[in-house]
Structure 1
Amino acid sequence: MSTITLYSNSWCPFCRRAKMLLDHKSAEYNEINIDAVPSARQEMIDRSGRTSVPQIFIDELHVGGCDDLFALEQQDKLDSLLAN
């Protein structure tokens, strides 16, 4: 089973959409709220090179944000990534 890490904040609608898709897939994920964990924002930027949330990782693969996650779903590639 893949390890999923999702960097988010509590007010982001794109974070909610990404979590809804992962929940729909019954995928377990580790959510890191960058507002609640002081060092998490810099960690997210260092890992992804991006400053916006959500930033999603499946194992060590940087998937990207919400639109990227939904694009993988549309391309029928998300399930295979989640199953690894």
Structure 2
Amino acid sequence: MYGAEWCGDCRRAKAWLRRNEVPFVEIDVEHDEAAREEAVRLSGRRNIPVVVLPGGGILVEPSDAELATALLTR
């Protein structure tokens, strides 16, 4: 998950992932310019969080419901 500490949607998404015991790696786009550029390349947008799904799909600023659909109903 590409995100930043100051981002409310990132904090919410991380909390959802932890509550649902979904393993993830957090990539800080605030302090890593290459990570920021990669998040934009992947999503085509500058919005965060950018969640890269196990199958390679991408979610940008996903709601809890979108995370559940993408990660719990496989």
* TM-score interval, normalised by the smaller of the two chains: 0.7 to 0.9
Match 2:57 to one of 52, 55, 61: 61
* Higher RCO (Cα < 8 Å, 6 or more apart): 1
Unaligned runs of 5+ in 2: none
Unaligned runs of 5+ in 1: 1-5
> Once superposed, which parts of structure 1, at least 4 consecutive aligned residues long, lie more than 2 Å away?
none
Q: Which amino acid aligns with 2:11?
A: R
Greater percentage in strand: 1
Instruction: Tell me how far apart the structure 2 counterparts of residues 65 and 56 of structure 1 sit (CA, whole Å).
Output: 8
TM-score, normalised to structure 2, is: 0.84
Query: Contact between 1:17 and 1:66, CA under 8 Å: does it hold in 2?
Result: no
RMSD (CA atoms)? 1.5
Identical pairs, percent: 28
**Cα drift, residue 25 of structure 1:** 0.8
